[in-house]
Amino acid sequence: MIEAELKACVHAPEETLRRLEERAVGRAEVYQDAYYDTAEGSLEGRNAELRVRTVHGADETRTILTYKGAPVDEESGSKPEHETRVADAQAVHAMLRGLGYVPAVAFGKRCRNYAFEARGRQMLATLVRVPELDGTFLELETLVDEKDLTGALDDVREVLAELGIGADDLTREQYTAAVRARREGAAAGR
């Protein structure tokens, strides 16, 4: 499956939150993301991702192992996504290190997730704050077959517009790159 996703900088978080609350009940969750790569950086080199995410919610804590392949759409950055829930986060971290992967970057995200149907598709909107970064972000995604990617992205754009997000608000910057840049800047400033 392809994760047809667009990400945007949110300039009026309270208004976007209000519009999301009209669509669905939000779930507040804290993500702890750890990204892995080879020592040579071959995953990053082909714009792929290997992530272990532990999600702390009101009712449960769960861990998900995710692999995202290279983008199939350059404009949006939409990628094939394969993920599975794992029972033991520490065991998965140990397995990845045992297979030769090394930690590339790890950081936390404060998220509020909204699952709803729009345009005949199941969508997930996530309002995101990364404590190390400035601003609030909105990710809107739906899972589709590759042949339906263009139509799905059109639908995602329409829903974003309904949420007050315009084309100029869209960003392709990845959290991993932004966090690394912030940390490197802080280290250089010492």
Rounded mean pLDDT for each run of 10 residues along the chain, 190 residues in total: 97 97 97 98 97 97 98 94 97 98 98 98 98 97 96 98 96 95 88
Residue length, the chain?
Answer: 190
Burial class (CB in 10 A: 0-12, 13-18, 19+), 144: buried
| Confidence at residue 124, expressed as pLDDT on a 0 to 100 scale | 98
| Confidence at residue 190, expressed as pLDDT on a 0 to 100 scale | 73
Rounded to whole angstroms, how far apart are CA atoms 169 and 160? 10
Superfamily (CATH) of domain 2-188? Hypothetical Protein Pfu-838710-001 (2.40.320.10)
Whether 86 contacts 92, CB under 8 Å: yes
Q: What is the pTM of this model?
A: 0.94
Q: Are strands 102-118 and 121-129 parallel, antiparallel or unpaired?
A: antiparallel
Rounded to whole angstroms, how far apart are CA atoms 65 and 86? 7
Residue range 21-65, pLDDT digits in tens: 999 999 999 999 999 999 999 999 999 999 999 999 999 999 999
| Confidence at residue 189, expressed as pLDDT on a 0 to 100 scale | 79
| Confidence at residue 3, expressed as pLDDT on a 0 to 100 scale | 96
How many CA atoms within 13 Å lie on the side-chain side of 65? 14
The domain limits of the chain are: 2-188
